[in-house]
């Protein structure tokens, strides 16, 4: 009787009884509200260095794709050059600068245990001294043993952050991984460089690259209102200046702790750092800004061959994806049809003589499919990503390619499948064509299998 009751409790929790097999575990999926809650709970706190003297005030704010509200991504770099007018005088009043991380949530179940991959796309409207457009860095967090309530039993597996083209992984047990724990979240602590290019002969952190902040929360909590120098130590380097802290608005405890505010015409002047990247400020003086969460799936339709892609992108680079189901809006309206679809992904820059800086949109990013080579350290100048997942060369720990995992070998080097995704374990593998982890197999993404692929689903209200 006691064993039967324990089995029932474990089934309700989505945990398989040892030796009983998967048949004991109950298949279940999270609700939309629960998915939003996990993304909010683990949303990072980002310390950032600014470089905003010489009429660049506000240029190191995180932003959103349509901050200028003209529905045109191709002029973002050109328009962002005028952000100082907004920061200093509230000009460009039709703008709505909303610092944003674009998110996606992968939900999959293995042997009755539910796991999550949380994706956060950190958007900056211009890069490298305003010379390049659409700079995005990303954060990936893997959780294991999810129960449905954030902070109630799951294990933080590892995090991956981008440093230019490098994918730097750290497991939760690594001393470099620090969190801000609050009643409303457990926020990974990161540091981001300012928008400026590097200054030769040295190549220091620059151009929005992300690093792990290696200073613990208890130390930061003691300093956050002090007159001591605002700086944090980062992975593979030493202390770096901090001029901003960006805080998820959905974590009320974090917002209160930092006294963070949204960027508006009324608050903009007070929330711009207005200092050179070498300027030292006190913790009391750092600018505390909230950011919101939106969806990677908000951006996907802008690339689609049957939408107005020419406004935002060029045809010189494309990604073909076989969609099993359409891309849906928050209201359930299809925005991209099912079937084999082409997405144009070469960045269009209306202010460049050749209309591009060679950047690419998210559907051409390997990290969007988990198909990247994890690294221990960021190279001084970015290295190459040699995994070869798209080509079918990149194998998981069991020797499977993505085509073997999906059952579609014809997809190799021809098209992505909508639900291709590689989950890393956080262990770094030196081999070029093999990573420690697994390609998710079969119909892992269906509710019947306890799965959900949130890269293609809009969860958060667009707040137009």
CA 169 to chain centre: 14
- Secondary structure class of 233 (helix, strand, coil): strand
Q: Say what the pTM is.
A: 0.93
What element of type H or E holds 391? Answer: none
Is the pLDDT reported for residue 10 higher than 50?
no
What is the predicted pLDDT for the residue at 25? 55
Q: Exposed, middle or buried, 449 (CB in 10 Å: 0-12/13-18/19+)?
A: middle
Of 328, 322, 422, nearest to 372 by C-alpha is 422
Is the pLDDT reported for residue 112 higher than 80?
yes
Kindly give, in sequence order, each residue whose CB lies less than 8 Å from that of residue 283, ignoring residues fewer than 6 positions away: 223, 224, 225, 226, 227, 228, 229, 230, 242
pLDDT digits (tens, 9 = 90+) for 159-179: 999 888 889 999 999 999 999
What is the predicted pLDDT for the residue at 12? 38
pLDDT digits (tens, 9 = 90+) for 284-334: 999 999 999 999 999 999 999 999 999 999 999 999 999 999 998 888 889
- Secondary structure class of 438 (helix, strand, coil): strand
Q: What angle do CA 250, 251, 256 make, to 5 degrees?
A: 115
- Secondary structure class of 255 (helix, strand, coil): helix
Residue-averaged pLDDT of the chain? 91
Number of H helices, E strands in the chain: 9, 22
pLDDT band at residue 381 using 50, 70 and 90 as cut-offs: low
What is the predicted pLDDT for the residue at 378? 75
pLDDT band at residue 13 using 50, 70 and 90 as cut-offs: very low
Q: Which of 11-15, 166-170, 393-397, 442-446 has the lowest mean pLDDT?
A: 11-15
The domain limits of the chain are: 1-28, 32-295, 298-449
In contact, 188 and 172? CB cutoff 8 Å: no
pLDDT-above-70 percentage for the chain: 92
pLDDT band at residue 131 using 50, 70 and 90 as cut-offs: very high
Is the pLDDT reported for residue 14 higher than 90?
no
Is the pLDDT reported for residue 158 higher than 80?
yes
């Amino acid at each position: 009787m006691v064993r039967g009751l324990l089995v029932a409790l474990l089934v309700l929790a989505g945990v398989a009884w040892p030796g009983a097999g998967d048949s004991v575990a109950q298949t279940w999926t999270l609700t939309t509200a629960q998915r939003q809650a996990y993304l909010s709970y683990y949303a990072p706190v980002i310390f950032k260095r600014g470089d905003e003297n010489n009429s660049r005030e506000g240029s190191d704010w995180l932003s959103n794709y349509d901050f200028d509200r003209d529905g045109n991504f191709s002029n973002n770099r050109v328009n962002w050059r005028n952000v100082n007018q907004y920061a200093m005088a509230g000009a460009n009043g039709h703008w709505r600068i909303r610092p944003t991380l674009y998110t996606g949530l992968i939900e999959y179940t293995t042997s009755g245990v539910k796991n999550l991959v949380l994706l956060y796309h950190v958007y900056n409207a211009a890069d490298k001294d305003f010379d390049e457009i659409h700079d995005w860095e990303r954060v990936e967090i893997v959780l294991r043993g999810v129960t449905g309530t954030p902070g109630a039993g799951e294990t933080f597996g590892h995090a991956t952050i981008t440093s230019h083209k490098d994918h730097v992984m750290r497991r939760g047990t690594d001393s470099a991984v620090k969190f801000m724990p609050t009643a409303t979240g457990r926020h990974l602590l990161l540091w981001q460089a300012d928008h400026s290019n590097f200054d030769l002969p040295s190549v220091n952190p620059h151009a929005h690259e992300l690093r792990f902040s290696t200073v613990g929360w208890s130390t930061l909590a003691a300093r956050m209102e002090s007159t001591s120098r605002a700086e944090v130590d980062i992975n593979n380097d030493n202390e770096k200046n901090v001029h901003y802290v960006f805080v998820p608005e959905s974590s009320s405890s974090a917002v209160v702790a930092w006294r963070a505010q949204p960027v508006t015409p009324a608050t903009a002047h007070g929330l711009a750092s207005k200092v050179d990247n070498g300027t030292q400020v006190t913790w009391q003086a750092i600018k505390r800004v909230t950011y919101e969460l939106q969806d990677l799936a908000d951006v996907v339709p802008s690339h689609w061959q049957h939408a107005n892609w020419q406004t935002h992108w060029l045809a010189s680079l494309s990604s073909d994806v076989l969609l099993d189901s359409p891309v849906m809006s928050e209201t359930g309206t299809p925005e991209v049809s099912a079937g084999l679809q082409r997405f144009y992904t070469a960045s269009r820059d209306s202010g460049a003589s050749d209309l591009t800086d060679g950047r690419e949109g998210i559907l051409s990013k390997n990290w969007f499919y988990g198909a990247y080579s994890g690294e221990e350290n960021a190279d001084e100048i970015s290295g190459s990503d040699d995994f070869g997942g798209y080509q079918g060369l990149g194998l998981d720990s069991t020797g499977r390619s993505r085509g073997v995992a999906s059952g579609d070998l014809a997809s190799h080097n021809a098209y992505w499948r909508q639900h291709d995704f590689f989950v890393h374990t956080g262990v770094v593998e030196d081999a070029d064509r093999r990573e420690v982890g697994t390609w998710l197999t079969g119909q892992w993404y269906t509710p019947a299998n306890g799965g959900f692929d949130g890269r293609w689903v809009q969860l958060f209200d667009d707040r137009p």
